[in-house]
Amino acid sequence: MMNVPFAAKILTGKVKRAGDPDASDRLDKPWESGMFKKEVTGNLWLSKTGLENDEVADTKNHGGPEKAIFAYPAEHYNFWKKQLNTDEIGIGAMGENLAVEGVDEFSICIGDTFELSDAIIQVAQPRQPCWKPARRFRVLDLALQIQNSGRTGWYFRVLKEGNIAGGSSLKIIERPYPQWTIAACNEVMHVYKNDLHQADELASCGLLAPSWRETLQKRLRGKQSSVEKRVYGPNK
């Protein structure tokens, strides 16, 4: 088990509306999102559905108990700066609530349970990026780039509500599924789509978010879902 605590910056944001109704380019059309996050340093209440003073625009696909907090490794931003040839991407750019340091998709597993100040949180699922980062940075295939790079980040569910403080460390208290790293889950979902044995194994992971289990179970029944709508949305 990972014994070394790791630090996290806490970020929140309200829904923001952007874009030009008269724009001809779809990437410039009006849109709204809660992904514009800024770091907070004081105490915040963390409930079963997320942080106080934080909002999501698309409540059908974002937020809720299985996506209460989105975590993203801060180290990934150096990669994205080079990949996108921009300095305008940094902590908060992916819409994360926790910018974590010292861990990534290869070291975090489904079911990992952590103490975070007064709260207890548990890893529920990898993030499947949607079209909104692409709109924000005007890169049409950015969601696919995020997905294919494996630098997706992950979501936590909240097992115990409580106050959390910016700059607190996450201390692991349980690791029930060490074989199911976020990286391994991403590979099953997006890379080895024809490996039904792995799909069955992952679908049997009791602490994986229900939506992921349902997608994998559909695959086992011969139904493959397209990512087109999710990754491009109204951008294409």
Q: Which domains does the chain have, with CATH numbers?
A: 6-177 (2.40.33.20)
**Max CA-CA distance within the chain?**
54
Token look-up 């139904």 returns 223
pLDDT at position 147 is: 97
What per-residue confidence (pLDDT) applies to 1?
Answer: 64
Residue 201 backbone class (left: φ over 0; alpha: ψ -120 to 50; beta: rest): alpha
| pLDDT tens digit sequence for 196-224 | 999 999 999 999 999 999 999 999 999 98
pLDDT tens per residue, range 144-162? 999 999 999 999 999 999 9
With DSSP H G I counted as helix, E B as strand and the rest as coil, what are the percentages for the chain, rounded to 5? 30, 25, 45
- Radius of gyration (C-alpha) of the chain in whole angstroms: 17
Global pTM value:
0.96
Provide the pLDDT for residue 59. 87
Question: pLDDT, tens digit, for every residue of 172-189?
Answer: 999 999 999 999 999 999
Distance CA 171, CA 8 (A): 11
pLDDT < 70 stretches in the chain: 1
H or E segment to which residue 10 belongs: strand 6-12
